[in-house]
Amino acid sequence: GEDVEQSLFLSVREGDSSVINCTYTDSSSTYLYWYKQEPGAGLQLLTYIFSNMDMKQDQRLTVLLNKKDKHLSLRIADTQTGDSAIYFCAERSSNTGKLIFGQGTTLQVKP
Amino acid sequence: DTAVSQTPKYLVTQMGNDKSIKCEQNLGHDTMYWYKQDSKKFLKIMFSYNNKELIINETVPNRFSPKSPDKAHLNLHINSLELGDSAVYFCASSQWAGGLAERGPYEQYFGPGTRLTVT
């Protein structure tokens, strides 16, 4: 089946690194995504990773993928108060193209 | 120059009414989606259309009827609204990403959401 799990809450201090974790079940997923949702707003695509990669870096964001364990993580370096939001990981179904989202991780950044 | 737009942003209505939410994208995409986000922020796909053809219908009650007059528009009509329909509804679009010939990330771009409150 298709299922994506995330921890619900993470609190960090400004300037620290944040690591948000995600596990998924569909081993045939070829792309995995991270989205950010600020209060009252829609979802903003942050980054994605192809399943044959194990790492992707984009400025302050680092995505790590362990395909064997079906584990995905998003590291945000030098976390700022503006990073406070809900972060969703998602896998894309290889046959329908639909996105299956995790429950979202609320990131709280304390000054 | 909004990429994916939805109207209205807020919709408050009474049980039993019929309402519509409109979505438009100017990205030239051929696939559009409706997602529902509940009060716990859980996000789940409802429908997907590719080139005006329904390709995903995720066991949504038939009170919900999507309509795609053209590739750039996907509207959601809801009949006989119930309290449990209260949620935020998001429209999204992408290039076609399904099928066996999957060649790219085909990112989905989301609209700002429509908060529906049924009283």
Report the residue from A31, A35, A103 with minimal CB separation from B105. A31
Element (H, E) at A55: strand A55-58
pLDDT tens, A24-83?
987 777 889 999 999 888 899 999 999 889 999 999 999 999 999 999 999 999 999 999
Q: Which residues of A touch B (CB under 8 A)?
A: 30-31, 33, 35, 37, 41-45, 48, 50, 86, 88, 92-101, 103-104
Q: Is the pLDDT of residue B17 over 90?
A: yes
Percentage of residues in chain B having pLDDT higher than 70: 92
Q: Band of the pLDDT at B97, cuts 50, 70, 90?
A: low
Tokens at A47, concatenated: 């980054």
Report the residue from B58, B107, B113 with minimal CB separation from A45. B107
| Closest chain B C-alpha to A108 CA, distance in angstroms | 16
**DSSP code of residue B53:** E
The residues, any chain, with a CB within 8 Å of residue A67's CB and separated by 6 or more, are A27, A51, A54
Q: Band of the pLDDT at B7, cuts 50, 70, 90?
A: very high
**What span, in angstroms and rounded, lies between the C-alpha atoms of B108 and B95?**
8
**What span, in angstroms and rounded, lies between the C-alpha atoms of B25 and A28?**
29
Q: Is the pLDDT of residue B42 over 80?
A: yes
Contact A103 B45 (CB under 8 A): no
Q: Band of the pLDDT at B63, cuts 50, 70, 90?
A: very high
How many other C-beta atoms lie within 10 A of the C-beta of residue B96? 16
- Does the N-terminal peptide bond of residue B66 adopt cis geometry, omega within 30 degrees of 0? no
Tokens at B90, concatenated: 């998001």
How many other C-beta atoms lie within 10 A of the C-beta of residue A24? 22
Q: In what order do the strands lie in the sheet with B64-70?
A: B4-7, B19-25, B73-78, B64-70
Contact B107 A48 (CB under 8 A): yes
Instruction: Check: CB of residue B43 under 8 Å from CB of residue B58.
Output: no
**What span, in angstroms and rounded, lies between the C-alpha atoms of B107 and A34?**
11
Report the residue from A94, A98, A104 with minimal CB separation from B45. A98
The confidence score (pLDDT) of residue A1 equals: 59
Instruction: Check: CB of residue B94 under 8 Å from CB of residue B108.
Output: yes
Euclidean distance between the first and final Cα of chain A, in Å? 41
